[in-house]
Structure 1
């Protein structure tokens, strides 16, 4: 460090010498600061590596023979250490507003049902003169009421109309008996409404509620529905929804970006296959007009030909998958750019 100058000399040359000396001191301190920053970064990286080895997931831990590979991507940062970094800019940060505490008000979109809790007629009267006291306002509070599900029987009545008794009715060619068409049903002939079938399917495939549990739940409504009946309804509904599934697959093939993966499923009763055999559920995600599309396709095979059949010959765009080799042939097709994911790229360096 240079000497502290309390009184500046009047000579210009002496002032210039003082400035040069202070500039040299400043440059020396700046170099020391840059070296300290690099050392700090190195210590922080080593500390993070040790923490990952001690507390990280097993898949994220790096064994000793390949420990140096963790710095494969730090080459640019190391080579840029010789270039002095500019001083950080001053950033004005607005003071954050804390979250309001207290009980949250129920959503405004929920239906409101008002219940008036009033005094009796005798309690409203004045104890002195006996007249009814004037109403000056009210106290209001809200609570959420969840109404349990219950089963009802909807009776569909379709009035029938016979022939007219006029003289020319028989010559008009009209139908002798007419009635309104019956409501459309997803499973014709079923005693369950479309909404009931939808609730069974949503509970199983969205809420992961097996049919045997739903069987016990609906029994509390006074309704006896076996799991076999629910299974038959699910199969019948899937067959009726075939055209919708085909439209979803068409939109998947038109999507510019598609993500695909397959997961293991076990089918207990499948023709010519053991119950312990592993099958695959292929999951495909795309979008059309900003709306996501999730497409599930079952296959007993994990071959890449299954993925190729799902995408068809018309798909062009980005295909994002994991590192499974079954997607390689599809990714090499004309018009398809095969991309990976950050979670699986680490496998190549462990």
Structure 2
């Protein structure tokens, strides 16, 4: 019986040695793969020796001659926002105050002007200008008597 077991034990030992060889080969190949991945995609992938010639900037002295200079002076206009075209349809929304009585003297306030702001709004398949009008009010009685002139105006609606 020991004669039959001894060849089997030798075969098992040979198989273990083969498995150990394959494991070593697998680990070596896995390490080579990881190293290649790190070289290609790792942190230092930009320092490839083959790319040194791409940005080979030689240091040259640049001689600047100052005798061929000219001075140019000009006035620059401040950029202005262009008006929206007059042919666009407009929707006028008036933001008015409710209380038109002067808090100082109690007289009725008169309209002294208005602020107009326009916003271009795109409605699918339709473009129109929304015009917000905010009348300004002041008290004539306070103006004539040289007391404090309070100007009232509705607040500007929120805009994105």
Higher strand fraction (1 or 2): 2
Higher helix fraction (1 or 2): 1
TM-score (norm 2): 0.27
TM-score (norm 1): 0.14
Structure number with greater CO (CA < 8 Å, separation at least 6) is 2
